[in-house]
Amino acid sequence: MKPLLPLVFIAFTAMSAIAQDAIQDPVDSLILDGTATNLNEFLWIKRPLIVFADTPADPRYVEQMGYITERLDFLDERDVVVLTDTDPAARSELRKALRPRGFSLVLVGKDGVIYLRKPAPWRVREITRSIDKLPMRQQELRDHTGGS
Protein backbone atom coordinates (compact mmCIF):
# COMPACT_ATOMS: atom_id res chain seq x y z
CA MET A 1 0.00 0.00 0.00
CA LYS A 2 2.84 2.41 0.79
CA PRO A 3 4.36 2.26 -2.74
CA LEU A 4 0.95 3.12 -4.19
CA LEU A 5 0.54 6.30 -2.12
CA PRO A 6 3.30 8.32 -3.87
CA LEU A 7 1.92 7.26 -7.24
CA VAL A 8 -1.57 8.47 -6.31
CA PHE A 9 -0.10 11.75 -5.03
CA ILE A 10 1.81 12.31 -8.29
CA ALA A 11 -1.29 11.57 -10.36
CA PHE A 12 -3.38 13.95 -8.25
CA THR A 13 -0.90 16.84 -8.57
CA ALA A 14 -0.60 16.30 -12.33
CA MET A 15 -4.40 16.39 -12.70
CA SER A 16 -4.54 19.57 -10.60
CA ALA A 17 -2.00 21.24 -12.86
CA ILE A 18 -3.96 20.26 -15.97
CA ALA A 19 -7.20 21.54 -14.45
CA GLN A 20 -5.52 24.82 -13.49
CA ASP A 21 -4.32 25.33 -17.07
CA ALA A 22 -7.82 24.63 -18.38
CA ILE A 23 -9.31 27.41 -16.27
CA GLN A 24 -8.32 30.53 -18.15
CA ASP A 25 -7.83 33.67 -16.12
CA PRO A 26 -10.38 36.29 -17.28
CA VAL A 27 -7.70 38.98 -17.10
CA ASP A 28 -5.58 37.03 -19.59
CA SER A 29 -8.46 36.71 -22.04
CA LEU A 30 -9.75 40.30 -21.85
CA ILE A 31 -6.53 42.29 -21.47
CA LEU A 32 -4.06 41.82 -24.30
CA ASP A 33 -0.77 43.35 -25.38
CA GLY A 34 -1.69 45.76 -28.13
CA THR A 35 1.79 46.09 -29.60
CA ALA A 36 1.35 42.89 -31.62
CA THR A 37 -2.35 43.31 -32.37
CA ASN A 38 -4.26 44.43 -35.43
CA LEU A 39 -7.69 46.01 -34.96
CA ASN A 40 -9.05 44.01 -37.90
CA GLU A 41 -8.80 40.88 -35.73
CA PHE A 42 -11.74 42.18 -33.69
CA LEU A 43 -13.92 43.60 -36.47
CA TRP A 44 -17.58 42.62 -35.88
CA ILE A 45 -16.52 40.41 -32.93
CA LYS A 46 -15.26 42.63 -30.09
CA ARG A 47 -15.13 46.27 -29.04
CA PRO A 48 -11.46 47.17 -28.56
CA LEU A 49 -10.72 49.52 -25.68
CA ILE A 50 -7.14 50.69 -26.17
CA VAL A 51 -5.12 52.13 -23.31
CA PHE A 52 -1.98 53.98 -24.42
CA ALA A 53 0.79 55.37 -22.23
CA ASP A 54 4.45 56.21 -22.70
CA THR A 55 5.42 53.87 -19.87
CA PRO A 56 3.68 51.30 -17.65
CA ALA A 57 4.62 53.52 -14.69
CA ASP A 58 2.46 56.43 -15.93
CA PRO A 59 0.10 57.20 -13.01
CA ARG A 60 -2.84 57.66 -15.40
CA TYR A 61 -2.16 54.24 -16.96
CA VAL A 62 -1.93 52.62 -13.52
CA GLU A 63 -5.18 54.30 -12.47
CA GLN A 64 -6.99 53.27 -15.67
CA MET A 65 -5.87 49.66 -15.46
CA GLY A 66 -7.00 49.59 -11.83
CA TYR A 67 -10.48 50.72 -12.88
CA ILE A 68 -10.56 48.13 -15.66
CA THR A 69 -9.41 45.15 -13.61
CA GLU A 70 -11.92 45.96 -10.86
CA ARG A 71 -14.86 45.65 -13.28
CA LEU A 72 -13.83 43.21 -16.00
CA ASP A 73 -17.22 41.50 -15.80
CA PHE A 74 -19.01 44.65 -17.00
CA LEU A 75 -16.64 44.94 -19.96
CA ASP A 76 -16.96 41.25 -20.79
CA GLU A 77 -20.78 41.60 -20.92
CA ARG A 78 -20.29 44.20 -23.64
CA ASP A 79 -17.80 42.19 -25.73
CA VAL A 80 -14.90 44.49 -24.85
CA VAL A 81 -11.28 43.47 -25.26
CA VAL A 82 -8.69 45.73 -23.61
CA LEU A 83 -5.52 46.36 -25.59
CA THR A 84 -2.57 48.00 -23.87
CA ASP A 85 0.39 49.76 -25.48
CA THR A 86 3.00 51.32 -23.22
CA ASP A 87 5.97 51.34 -25.59
CA PRO A 88 6.00 54.28 -28.02
CA ALA A 89 9.38 53.18 -29.39
CA ALA A 90 7.85 49.96 -30.74
CA ARG A 91 5.75 51.98 -33.25
CA SER A 92 2.92 49.44 -33.14
CA GLU A 93 0.15 49.32 -35.74
CA LEU A 94 -2.23 50.69 -33.09
CA ARG A 95 0.00 53.71 -32.50
CA LYS A 96 0.37 54.35 -36.21
CA ALA A 97 -3.40 54.19 -36.74
CA LEU A 98 -4.57 56.08 -33.63
CA ARG A 99 -1.62 58.47 -33.00
CA PRO A 100 -1.88 58.88 -29.22
CA ARG A 101 0.05 61.56 -27.35
CA GLY A 102 1.05 60.33 -23.91
CA PHE A 103 -1.85 58.69 -22.09
CA SER A 104 -4.92 58.03 -24.20
CA LEU A 105 -8.05 55.91 -23.87
CA VAL A 106 -9.70 54.94 -27.17
CA LEU A 107 -12.91 52.97 -27.69
CA VAL A 108 -13.43 51.35 -31.08
CA GLY A 109 -16.78 49.82 -31.97
CA LYS A 110 -17.34 46.39 -33.44
CA ASP A 111 -17.76 48.16 -36.79
CA GLY A 112 -14.23 49.61 -36.56
CA VAL A 113 -15.36 53.20 -35.91
CA ILE A 114 -13.62 55.22 -33.18
CA TYR A 115 -16.35 56.27 -30.75
CA LEU A 116 -14.36 57.70 -27.87
CA ARG A 117 -10.98 59.33 -27.23
CA LYS A 118 -10.08 60.51 -23.75
CA PRO A 119 -6.82 62.03 -22.48
CA ALA A 120 -7.55 61.01 -18.88
CA PRO A 121 -8.65 57.81 -17.11
CA TRP A 122 -12.33 56.91 -17.10
CA ARG A 123 -14.15 54.64 -14.69
CA VAL A 124 -15.68 51.50 -16.16
CA ARG A 125 -19.15 52.84 -15.32
CA GLU A 126 -18.53 55.80 -17.66
CA ILE A 127 -17.10 53.54 -20.36
CA THR A 128 -20.02 51.11 -20.23
CA ARG A 129 -22.55 53.96 -20.38
CA SER A 130 -20.87 55.19 -23.56
CA ILE A 131 -20.92 51.66 -24.99
CA ASP A 132 -24.58 51.19 -24.08
CA LYS A 133 -25.47 54.28 -26.15
CA LEU A 134 -23.87 52.88 -29.32
CA PRO A 135 -26.36 51.85 -32.04
CA MET A 136 -24.95 48.33 -32.35
CA ARG A 137 -25.12 47.81 -28.57
CA GLN A 138 -28.71 49.07 -28.56
CA GLN A 139 -29.51 46.50 -31.25
CA GLU A 140 -27.80 43.76 -29.23
CA LEU A 141 -29.91 44.67 -26.20
CA ARG A 142 -33.12 44.62 -28.26
CA ASP A 143 -32.20 41.26 -29.79
CA HIS A 144 -31.37 39.82 -26.37
CA THR A 145 -34.63 40.93 -24.76
CA GLY A 146 -36.75 40.15 -27.81
CA GLY A 147 -37.96 43.75 -28.01
CA SER A 148 -38.75 45.62 -31.21
The band of 26, judged by pLDDT with boundaries at 50, 70 and 90, is low
The model's pLDDT over 47-82, given as tens digits with 9 standing for 90+, comes to: 999 999 999 999 999 999 999 999 999 999 999 999
What percentage of residues in the chain have a pLDDT greater than 70? 80
pTM, 2 dp: 0.79
| Domains (range + CATH), the chain | 24-145 (3.40.30.10)
3-state secondary structure 57-79: CCHHHHHHHHHHHHCHHHHHHCC
Amino acid letter, residue 44: W
**pLDDT tens digits for 113-146?**
999 999 999 999 999 999 999 999 999 999 988 7
